[in-house]
Amino acid sequence: MKTYPLPRYFLLTVLVTIWFTGPLPAGELLDILVFTRAEGFVHPSITDGVTMITDIAMEEGATLDVTDQTDGFTPASLADYDVVVWLSTTGDVLDTAEQTAFEDFIQAGGGYLGIHAAADCEYGWPWYGELLGNGAWFNVHPAIQTATLLLESPEHPGAGSFGAVESFQDEWYNFRANPRPAVEVVMTIDETSYDPGTGAMGDDHPIVWAHDFDGGRAFYTALGHRPATYQDNRFKEQIRGALRWAAGARIFSDGFETGTTERWSAGN
């Protein structure tokens, strides 16, 4: 397990690598890297996201590294992880060699979990657009509002504890493309329940989705702008389930087939 510096916005000095030994997993522990580099807008909620994922790691018996540096994006370093979480990353965060290393990581069966502004980065990297899903980069957003979320795939681990119809407040992204042709949509947002503003996507507006991609797995949720979002148990359970699913279900004994790269229906 590699060790990297904490993000620059952390005010306290602590150890970056956090080792937890909770009782849930069977066999090998889940290894998570949380990547927080922001070359554009820096979300204050990133610290809240790190805290929430740290709590999940404690509960799951996982190991966790947090960094806003890119020197760990090498084949050798990325091989230490099951999932890399891109937590509200913005702008052009990786150089060409680092991009290639991350592509290799996914092609070797690694997992990607993109949260909120992970859709607002690497616009010049076509592969990343496909990893997101059909080039569904961030386009524009209206003011923060409460809206109605519709759960489309309740059987997916990334559904978390969301019900079929939920009211939720956050910053709602309109995307450059609809990801649906390339992904399995987990949740959509009802545009009639709020003012979507410029770039409205209409009757079909995915907001959370997942897909097998290029040998690995990719999960994206547009939720996560507000610090309060990371205090919501529904979202916490969504991220917990997404981490399990993105890891390929290799290390959990909760009904998934060991080592499977099938979608969430496998083993159910």
3-state SS string over 199-217? CCCCCCCEEEEEEEECCEE
Is residue 7 situated within a structural domain?
A: no
Is residue 216 situated within a structural domain?
A: yes
Q: Give me the pLDDT at residue 28, please.
A: 57
Can you give the pLDDT of all 268 residues of the chain as single tens digits?
333 333 333 322 222 333 333 333 344 578 999 999 999 999 999 999 999 999 999 998 899 999 999 999 999 999 999 999 999 999 999 999 999 999 999 999 999 999 999 999 999 999 999 999 999 999 999 999 999 999 999 999 999 999 999 999 999 999 999 999 999 999 999 999 999 999 999 999 999 999 999 999 999 999 999 999 999 999 999 999 999 999 884 444 343 333 333 333 322 2
What are the b/e assignments for 84-101, b being 16+ CB within 10 Å? Answer: bbbbbbbeebbeeebbeb
Burial-class residue 15 by CB neighbours within 10 Å (0-12, 13-18, 19+).
Answer: exposed
Q: Domain range holding 35? A: 18-246
Report d(CA 88, CA 224) in Å as an integer: 8
CATH of the domain at 194: 3.40.50.880
Is residue 261 situated within a structural domain?
A: no
> Helix or strand or coil: residue 170?
strand
Nearby residues of 237 by Cβ (< 8 Å), 6 or more positions away = 160, 161
Q: Give me the pLDDT at residue 60, please.
A: 85
Q: Give me the pLDDT at residue 258, please.
A: 31
Q: Give the helix ranges, DSSP H, for the chain.
A: 46-60, 75-78, 96-107, 126-132, 233-246
Q: Could you give the number of structural domains in the chain? A: 1
Is residue 266 situated within a structural domain?
A: no
Q: What is the pTM of this model?
A: 0.86
DSSP calls for 50-109: HHHHHHHHHHHT-EEEEES-STT-SHHHHTT-SEEEEES-EE----HHHHHHHHHHHHTT
Going by C-alpha positions, the residue among 261, 239, 247, 211 that lies closest to residue 81 is: 247
Whole-Å CA distances, 245 to 125, 146, 155, 216: 25, 28, 12, 11
Q: Give me the pLDDT at residue 29, please.
A: 73
Report d(CA 26, CA 254) in Å as an integer: 9
Q: Give me the pLDDT at residue 61, please.
A: 86
Is residue 260 situated within a structural domain?
A: no
Is residue 138 situated within a structural domain?
A: yes
What distance lies between CA 160 and its chain's CA centroid?
13
